[in-house]
Structure 1
Amino acid sequence: MSIDWDPYDPTLTEPTVWDVYTAARAAGPVARSGRRGGFWVLTGYDDVRAALRDPGTFSSASGHRIPTDGTQHSIPIDFDPPLHTAYRRLMGPALSTTRVRQMRPFLERTIADLVAGFAARGGGDFVREVALPLPLAVLTELVGFSPGTVERFREVTEQTWSGLTAGGEEVDFAGAFRRISELMAGELAAHRADGADDFVSTLLAADLGEDERISILATFAVAGHETTMNAASTLVALLLEDPARQERLRADPSLAPGFVEEMLRHRSPAQNFARRATCPVTVAGQRVEEGDAVLLSFAAANRDPARFPDPDRFDPDRDVRGHLGFGWGIHLCPGAALARAELTILLTELCARPPLRLRGEVGWSGLQGGNHLGPTTLPVVFGE
């Protein structure tokens, strides 16, 4: 079955994007889009998870974004083992559960200060004043980015997404990511000069090429702030949609982890990742040829009614074990533990304040880079 789906279509936003996933699922668990060079779309939960567990058949080495033309080199996601394994091992200590436990006092202080300042001002745009500064502060502590570099993250990332959507069917990945690469190169040069002892200095000491170091830092910079910013803002948007959710959470803050997990399933801040078939394979009765591009839709799979009954309903009491909000298999998000900690602490801190109320319209992004979705503006106030 064919569908007309372009991951970079600017109309793919809240709430229309969910209609597109529903239509794709209705076309069959494996559908074909002729856009961006042509690709298969997998929307069923079991099929997406099976593909994620089989990197030998569904390779990441040609790129995790459509089109999979081999020009993408983001570390570690655009690599297969053994290189992927080596890169993950290098990045692992910065994102391990032990490191997250060590950072918890910092996270609690940082989040408390952000929320206190936001409340003292009476509220404002939650995205710009809380959801964005939070991961930027965490990246400074976690990686060792300088404040000057961090201040430019959002501007450069937005320029990157604009570069991916510009033009026709062709996508200039190198051009789109040039600014973020230049920013990371400057960060490496600054660390060489001042000799700071942090994760960046670890990269400088490792047996890596300069392009590898730049790519690893770019992954921390983009993925480390984009997904957390979107997830935090989406959580608050969900609380504002239904005051009963907020009241329940305020009455029992221990429910916060369940709210986080259901948000990850229901809204999937990171929604679509591409692969390329290394050999002929049959998925749900459909033959996929060697070399074909395949888009694994985490967002559609997370709303597969065969896995999650009544999937369009936000239900923090449901069993969400196995959701694909952080992916699955060898490419499971390495920052999952850190993100969960940030989001749970944030919800708990917000519950200690007067209820949040919406003041104005919520603005939503399109699928940034064909993948990321979240609020761009979220005007709120505190009050009973």
Structure 2
Amino acid sequence: MTDKKARVGIIGAGTVARRNQIPAFQVCERAETVAVFDRHIERAQALCDQFGIPKAYGRLEDLLADDEINCVSICTGNVSHESIALAALQAGKHVLCEKPMAISVEQAERMKRAAEERGLVFMMAFVNRFRQESILINELREQGRFGEIYHARCGWIRRRGTPSGWFTSRAKSGGGAVLDIGVHVIDMTWYLMGRPKPVSVSGVTHRRIGSYRTRSVAGWSAVGAQDGEFDNEEAASALIRFENGASLSVDVSWSINGKEEGMFAKLYGEKAGASVIPAVIYGEEDGFLTDVEPVIVAESGWQNAFEREIAHFADCVVSGCAPISGAEDGLTVQRMLNGIYDSAEQGREILL
């Protein structure tokens, strides 16, 4: 029987569920939020009360046994993504998984294999693919506006933006700035480059500022968690090489003694180039250099990207179409992320 709606169970009652995912599901015509699970059931109940969601669960197996639910959104910490995804797929639920896919390539491979064996939708919540700027630039790339993209630069530079709670613990998060914010810019830029096959990574990571940080500027925290162990990297740089000869340089930081730069991505092609945030096209016309800033009529904010992401996931669940950010892409991004860590640890370039 074809599903007429994506009837979702939210797994994890943390910040991304409350601030972004549930509001986006609530405005999606092809989706219905049926339940929220959190191992602290009072947190699940609080979100249910806030958003008018019928069911709160304190045991994951109870949510997965709910026949009214046909899909789940995994909004938990990184280290639990694999076990939850495998359980959800085994229960016959389609899966939307928050970034990163996992904390290791081996975990991501198992998740991809399980989704394929069950014939279920597995979509990565790579929200920056759904920014209006990304949609525009991707369309221009597909039209050949840039020619071959041979290099790109991306990053997310926070001056003082270390999230609190489990984010800083390697055992609880699997990684620091690379897994937290690096995944956003690496995926977005790689996607806009046309998803070339990565072949090697050279990376370095740093932890020099550590637990010292100016308070109240991080903008993100783990719900119910207190500051504690800090053994994750707070900054990293990398060079990723691709099979087609292209390259991608990456710089990310939670904390750095330098200028706040925020998120950025820049593409360099044979015919033209682009920056993504904001969208600017750099070209040449009639012998003159041109900087074109497209007028983006549609909403381009962060939450609007979440709404487009959720609408796409619901369409995939209802129609059975393949997501634009499926398990294969999640696995490829995971290879690049873990390649940075492996290279930094071994002090050499890593073949992927």
After TM superposition, the score normalised by the length of structure 2 is 0.29
Which has a greater percent of strand? Answer: 2
Which has a greater percent of helix? Answer: 1
Work out which structure has the larger RCO, using CA pairs closer than 8 Å and 6 or more positions apart in sequence.
1
